[in-house]
């Protein structure tokens, strides 16, 4: 009856998953843990269910320089894939998350940035997911029972994580991290990416008028 059926995946939301080689991430992760322990020697105790975070400036500290190099390389790859025209970008914020047993990060976005991401340093058993929400509000109007869930149905998708994995995504995409069920702490580093001098170089209108004076 049908001659041809074509599926068009409109307006896809990109999420990049970057895995470092073991010989790269193992010393990097050890260095991050040592730097965090040295920086937070007087860290207040974290009760089960709570989460501890550093101030969002660690990318400016020399002990996190190698991690900054990894983040910038991953961000450049994503921007090149998207074919974005830009002069420069920068890390606008970067911080360590520590989730003890029961610790989680509720759903949120990262305003005033183009990309956001998380690099995973220590991932206990059962604490290896980051969950993304469907950004289309209309998709919630109909949620029938499904025989089998796939990427075209449902209202959230989880991405598995592991030590040495970096997950990069649009800063507007709502995401969260489920509770850590393990006695070992989950340690990750989150970051934001934004274009440098955005208002001066990128925020101008993308079109020109057809009448009237030209003002450049």
| Tens of pLDDT, residues 86-109 | 999 999 999 999 999 999 999 999
* In-domain check, residue 6: no
The domain spanning residue 74 has which CATH number?
2.60.120.620
* In-domain check, residue 75: yes
Each as own residue / partner, the long-range contacts of residues 72-78 (CB below 8 Å, 24 or more positions apart, any chain) are: 74/16, 74/18, 74/117, 74/166, 74/168, 75/115, 75/117, 75/168, 75/193, 77/16, 77/18, 78/14, 78/16, 78/115, 78/168
Question: If pLDDT is split at 50, 70 and 90, which confidence band does 212 have?
Answer: low
| Tens of pLDDT, residues 174-189 | 999 999 999 999 999 9
Question: If pLDDT is split at 50, 70 and 90, which confidence band does 39 have?
Answer: confident
In the predicted model, what is the mean pLDDT of residues 136-157? 85
* In-domain check, residue 190: yes
* In-domain check, residue 207: no
For 39, the token pair is 């920086």
**What's the pLDDT score for residue 215?**
55
In the predicted model, what is the mean pLDDT of residues 39-67? 86
* Segments forming the whole domain that contains residue 93: 16-136+154-196
**What's the pLDDT score for residue 51?**
87
* In-domain check, residue 35: yes
Domain count, the chain: 1
Read off the pTM.
0.91
Question: If pLDDT is split at 50, 70 and 90, which confidence band does 214 have?
Answer: low
**What's the pLDDT score for residue 191?**
97
* In-domain check, residue 204: no
CA 76 → CA 39, 108, 131, 163, 212, distances in Å? Answer: 29, 24, 24, 22, 39
Question: If pLDDT is split at 50, 70 and 90, which confidence band does 213 have?
Answer: low
* In-domain check, residue 11: no
More confident residue, 50 or 128: 128
d(CA 184, CA 126): 11
């Amino acid at each position: 009856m049908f001659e041809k059926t074509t599926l068009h995946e409109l307006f896809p939301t990109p999420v990049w998953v970057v895995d470092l080689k073991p010989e790269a991430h193992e010393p990097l992760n050890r260095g991050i843990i040592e730097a965090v322990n040295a920086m937070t020697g007087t860290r207040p105790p974290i009760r089960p269910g709570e989460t501890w975070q550093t101030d969002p400036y660690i990318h400016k500290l020399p002990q996190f320089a190698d991690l900054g190099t990894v983040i910038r390389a991953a961000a450049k790859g994503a921007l090149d894939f998207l074919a974005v025209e830009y002069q420069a970008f920068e890390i606008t914020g970067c911080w360590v998350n520590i989730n003890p047993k029961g610790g989680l990060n509720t759903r949120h976005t990262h305003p005033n940035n183009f990309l956001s991401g998380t690099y995973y340093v220590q991932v206990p058993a059962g604490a290896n997911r980051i969950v993304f929400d469907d950004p289309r509000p209309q998709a919630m109007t109909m949620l029938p029972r499904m025989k089998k869930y796939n990427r075209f149905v449902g209202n959230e998708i989880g991405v598995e994580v592991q030590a040495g994995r970096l997950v990069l995504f649009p800063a507007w995409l709502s995401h969260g991290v489920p509770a850590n069920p393990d006695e070992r702490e989950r340690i990750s580093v989150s970051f934001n990416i934004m274009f440098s001098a955005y208002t001066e170089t990128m925020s101008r209108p993308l079109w020109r008028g057809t009448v009237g004076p030209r003002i450049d």
